[in-house]
């Protein structure tokens, strides 16, 4: 499994891929922080007033990152689906299976590499979002004293873990799509179409569904379930069940399907 992890990181660590993904997550994080700070004194997307006193609380520093957690999750989904799908279309998987015939160990190594990759990307996004929030907050009249406190640092850590967990949930969906469709284009397009427009449409038509649909639960988890009908712990438990089922399905398909190219 260690060899598979190292081999996967050779691909993930290529300059174009690594820094391209890094640029995407940093840009998204910066955008989220800037727009969130600029919204102080106005209303957010849901019509809720965004006030300086509210943003001055310890958790205010992570509001920008949490606002774009969906986009960061989509990055995780797309990266995972593209990497797994490309292994089939480019013939990489067949060569890897010759070196490592134990399929489950191979897939475990790939998944572990992708997890560490996403940990790195979300860490960078967290640092950038926090820095941008600190830079713009004084201009918008937001007091950052609480952000420097132990409570503020705790909120930064919680925000990182919540957004990371959400992104890994999206990545699990990408893993399943990559194994099912065995093509990066098909895997990414179908998974994104399901996670964004389809789930959003269903939850708007039938609002109780947002407490059960995987992508909506991941969004709730990323924000600490603030503003959602479901409790944080319940959302986390349901995501764990979904991820376990998705990983189990991916393992079965990966282990039993023939690799012909």
Phi (first) and psi of residue 251, to 5 degrees = -65, -45
- Single pTM value for the model: 0.92
Q: Return the closest-CA partner of residue 58 out of 132, 155, 127.
A: 155
pLDDT attached to residue 198: 93
pLDDT attached to residue 155: 94
- Quote the tokens at residue 85: 């799908």
Convert the pLDDT of each residue in 78-131 to its tens digit.
999 999 999 888 877 777 877 777 888 889 999 999 999 999 999 999 999 999
The whole-angstrom separation of Cα 87 and Cα 94 is 8
Positions of the chain with pLDDT lower than 70, given as ranges: 45-47, 259-261
| Residue found under tokens 């399901």 | 194
pLDDT attached to residue 5: 83
The whole-angstrom separation of Cα 65 and Cα 144 is 16
The whole-angstrom separation of Cα 229 and Cα 217 is 10
Residue 232, sorted as left (phi over 0), alpha (psi -120 to 50) or beta, turns out to be alpha
Identify whether the C-beta of residue 76 lies closer than 8 Å to the C-beta of residue 118.
yes
CB within 8 Å of 147: residues ≥ 6 apart: 58, 60, 61, 133, 134, 137
């Amino acid at each position: 499994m260690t060899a598979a992890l190292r081999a996967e990181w050779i691909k993930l660590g290529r300059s174009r891929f690594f820094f391209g993904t890094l640029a995407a997550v940093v840009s998204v994080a910066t955008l989220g922080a800037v727009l969130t700070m600029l919204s102080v004194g106005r209303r957010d997307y849901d019509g809720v007033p965004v006030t300086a006193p509210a943003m001055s609380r310890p958790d205010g520093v992570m509001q920008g990152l949490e606002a774009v957690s969906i986009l960061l999750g989509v990055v995780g989904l797309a990266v995972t689906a593209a990497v797994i799908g490309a292994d089939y279309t480019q013939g990489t998987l067949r060569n890897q299976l010759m070196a490592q015939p134990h399929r489950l160990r191979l897939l475990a190594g790939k998944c572990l590499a992708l997890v560490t990759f996403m940990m790195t990307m979300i860490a960078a996004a967290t640092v950038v979002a926090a820095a941008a929030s600190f830079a713009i907050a004084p201009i918008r009249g937001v007091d950052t004293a609480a952000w420097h406190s132990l409570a503020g640092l705790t909120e930064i850590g919680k925000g990182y873990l919540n957004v990371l967990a959400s992104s890994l949930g999206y990545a699990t969906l990408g893993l399943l799509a990559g194994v099912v469709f065995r093509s990066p284009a098909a895997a990414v397009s179908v998974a994104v179409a399901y996670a964004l427009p389809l789930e959003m449409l269903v939850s708007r038509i039938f609002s109780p569904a947002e407490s059960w649909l995987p992508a909506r639960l991941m969004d709730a988890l990323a924000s600490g379930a603030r503003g959602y009908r479901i409790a944080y712990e319940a959302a986390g438990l349901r995501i764990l069940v979904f991820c376990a089922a998705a990983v189990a399905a991916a393992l079965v398909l990966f282990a039993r399907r023939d690799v012909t190219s």
